Amino acid sequence: MKKSFYFLCTLALTGTLFSCNPTENEPAETDYTKYVNTFIGAADNGHTFPGACRPFGMIQTSPVTGAVGWRYCSEYVNSDSIIWGFTQTHLNGTGCMDLGDVLVMPVTGTRTRAWDAYRSRFSKKQEAATPGYYTVELTEPNVKAELTATPHAALHRYTYHNADSASVLIDLQHGPTWNENQYHSQVKECEVNWEDAQTLTGHVRNSVWVNQDYFFVMKFNRPVTDSLYLPMGETEKGKRIIASFDMQPGEELLMKVALSTTGIEGARKNMEAEVPAWDFEGVKKTAHDDWNSYLSRIDVTGTEDEKTNFYTCFYHALIQPNQISDVDGLYRNAADSVVKAGTGTFYSTFSLWDTYRAAHPFYTLMVPEKVDGFVNSLVEQSEVQGFLPIWGLWGKETYTMVGNHGVSVIAEAYRKGFRGFDAERAFNAIKQTQTVSHKQKSDWETYMKYGYFPTDLIKTESVSSSLESVYDDYAAADMAKRMGKTEDAAYFSKRADFYKNLFDTETQFMRPRNSDGTWKTPFNPSQVAHAESTGGDYTEGNAWQYTWHVQHEPDSLINMLGGEDAFITKLDSLFILKEVVHNEGFSSDVTGLIGQYAHGNEPSHHVAYLYRMAGKPSKTEELVNYICKTKYLDRVDGLCGNDDCGQMSAWYVFSAMGFYPVNPCGGEYILGAPQLPRITIELGNNKRFVVETVNYSLENIHVRKIELNGKELTGNSISHKDIMEGGILKFYMMK
């Protein structure tokens, strides 16, 4: 049965803190950055970028090969052969457009051209990147471009092999957008000022996904000899400037660009603090050492490909959330007020619908010193806008996706012993978020009246909104219980059972329901819904994918489906039924298909681990192995879906280690099967946790027994507490 199931799957798709900051640690002996391939995921689907950034930094300076349409959410597609320029901020692996601030491009030759005539061809053979550094040879201007970064500033180095009218294009109209019209109209305000011959400052207000204000200081290492402004289109307000320099062939032009949400002086402080000199090699080395310090927290053995997959995923998971506060702690909040972060650093870029599932649990293990800062940032934004961020960007709210999983992130942190935030204040934010309705996403009166969101009263995503909200209710109840808030715990515990109201015993699916209690008809469980295009009752998914979304009570779901045997039969069907196709409401986000299972989208991420919880660990082991080997590859198209701010990557890192947080707030990780011979996790405070795979081979994908510190584990999970205490987890493998 084990082998036959694996064959069918194959056919279906031929509170412990670190004692110091990472940058203060002794340099790691091993260069772990050499195993990071920043180009993985940079094909059409992964939406990653290859450029330079720092862990959790504001700046992501990277090349632009396109900016219009969904495939350019990160502004880079590896198959392209033209570079538009280099922008200083990017989203990592998202399915929406924004950032892409301050496009610059070294140019030579005729200075005055059409706005889109400064682009250049480039050869893939002359493009390379490592964490914190990117370089490419630009054919038309004959310039070598190099980029590196600090948390708040980018440093560019351009070597002009010829110096015919050596110039730089500064394009402040640019930004990734959904269509051509938006590209030329997204800037609402733009002001620039040449402070001196080497310094340009400015402010841009734009609106694509959020209403964004950014301020910049741009400084060159040699004086601008001349500058001109290109003509602006009818709907354009962003300036395009050509700045020229007196240069000889082979000479270098250095350029610093620092950003701030607060003002010009904020950007200037950031630049002076982080890039006081013109030391490109020094900044590049510091960026490398910073990344290597983080990556050295996990040491793995394996093949070169295995290490590349692992450390690239580790790297992608650490790009965000991004600190958007200045070096002095000031930032612009959701009310457009400049305030100081309560703990000195304010973070944004919270793709919470995605990242609450595995990325944030990963942070509690691997970057615990950041977790309190994330929680405090969520709470601070909540107190300004009235609810916890749904999808926070640049300190503002995008109202993207469903549920409000800032609740889960906070409750998980509290469950795991983090106390660097005011628990009463945090719980008040949770309670307000889950009980006070707001204009776009939370109609709690309707939710409480019916015990679900009725499909005839809710415009779209009724089933997903209900199930995602139920999980947040569970998280709120758990935190309330642990804080001794008996009344609140009882209230939210009752709501945490609302998933039962959407389970249709006849079809055995989580199904859209009307306000009169009847089921919506017609009903096709394979029909994919998508709020922005096809509409429907699910979020980037269908009934097959969302029926398993009872992360907090899988045992209850098993019983609802008729017990373990019936549950397993149903789960088998998920992986072997016909895949979703375009004419059935296909969404571009529903990818990485194995039957109806979609690994490229987050609601499916915990599902493979449900087999173990239903008494069939061998099937979990088979599927985890299959997904790791087929959906994560060392190539540009090696991700089967958007990386979604590190969630896809976090799934792989957890699964490679042999366990996964099915219920992030539960404090437990469900056991699977490790994908590497040995993994050593440095926990800080001289503690380490080792995952050792006995009898490791490509053929030995099943687990015979598991031991923790020499004692056999008989349950389905290992606790967060057990991991953080350190020790050795041994998996004994067999065919």
Q: How far is CA 494 from CA 319, 404, 479, in A?
A: 37, 18, 14
- The residue whose two tokens read 């306000």 is 515
Cα 400 to Cα 708: distance, rounded to the nearest angstrom: 41
In 34-186, DSSP assigns E strands to 52-53, 60-64, 82-83, 85-87, 103-107, 120-130, 133-138, 143-149, 153-160, 167-171
Cβ contacts of 665 within 8 Å, gap of 6 or more: 408, 411, 412, 415, 474, 475, 478, 552
Q: What is the pLDDT of residues 688-702, one digit of tens each?
A: 999 999 999 999 999
pLDDT in tens, 369-422: 999 999 999 999 999 999 999 999 999 999 999 999 999 999 999 999 999 999
Q: Which two tokens stand for residue 513?
A: 């329901």
pLDDT higher than threshold 80 for residue 2:
no
Residue 147: what residue type?
A: L
Peptide bond into 603 cis (omega under 30): no
Residue 197 has pLDDT above 60, yes or no: yes
pLDDT tens by residue, 291-306:
999 999 999 999 999 9
Q: State residue 27's pLDDT score.
A: 57
Query: Which amino acid, 208?
Result: V
Q: Which residues contact 593 (CB under 8 A, 6 or more apart)?
A: 13, 579, 580, 599, 600
Element (H, E) at 54: none
pLDDT of residue 438: 86
Q: If you count them, how many residues does the chain have?
A: 735
Alpha carbons 666 and 664: distance in angstroms, whole number: 6
Summarize pLDDT for 527-585 with one digit per residue, the tens: 988 877 778 999 999 999 999 999 999 999 999 999 999 999 999 999 999 766 544 55
Q: What pLDDT shows up at residue 13?
A: 35
Instruction: For 127, list phi and psi in degrees, rounded to 5.
Output: -125, 135
- Whole-number pLDDT of residue 534: 76
pLDDT for 271: 98
Q: Which residue has the higher pLDDT, 163 or 205?
A: 205
HSE-up (13 A, CA, CB side) for residue 151:
23
Helix axes 617-631, 564-576, angle to 10 degrees: 20
How many other CB atoms are there within 10 angstroms of residue 104's CB atom? 27
Around 621, how many Cα atoms within 13 Å sit in the side-chain half-sphere?
23
- Give the pLDDT of residue 628: 97
In sequence order, what DSSP letters do the residues of 633-697 get, joined into one string? -SSTT-BSS--TTTHHHHHHHHHHHTEE-SSGGGTEEEE---SSSEEEEEEETTEEEEEEEET--
Residues 142 and 380: their CA atoms lie apart, in Å, by 48
Distances, alpha carbon 434 to alpha carbons 371, 473, 607, in Å = 22, 7, 26
The pLDDT, as a whole number, for residue 459 is 85
Q: What whole-number percentage of the chain has pLDDT above 70? A: 95
C-alpha gyration radius of the chain: 25
| CB neighbour burial string for 485-517, b if at least 16 within 10 angstroms, e if fewer | beebbebbbebbebbeebbbeeebbbbbbeeee
Average pLDDT value for residue range 10-35: 56
| 105: β partners | 169
Element (H, E) at 457: none
Read off the tokens for 16.
């412990």
Q: What is the DSSP letter of 501?
A: G
Residue 21 predicted with pLDDT over 50: no
Mean pLDDT of the chain: 94
CA 689 to chain CA centroid, Å, is 25
DSSP string for residues in 264-301: HHHHHHHHHHH--S--HHHHHHHHHHHHHHHHTTEEEE
Tokens (6 digits) for 168: 């730089």
Q: For 439-464, how does the pLDDT look when each residue is reduced to its tens digit (9 = 90+)? A: 778 899 999 999 999 999 998 899 99
Quote the pLDDT of residue 10.
Answer: 39
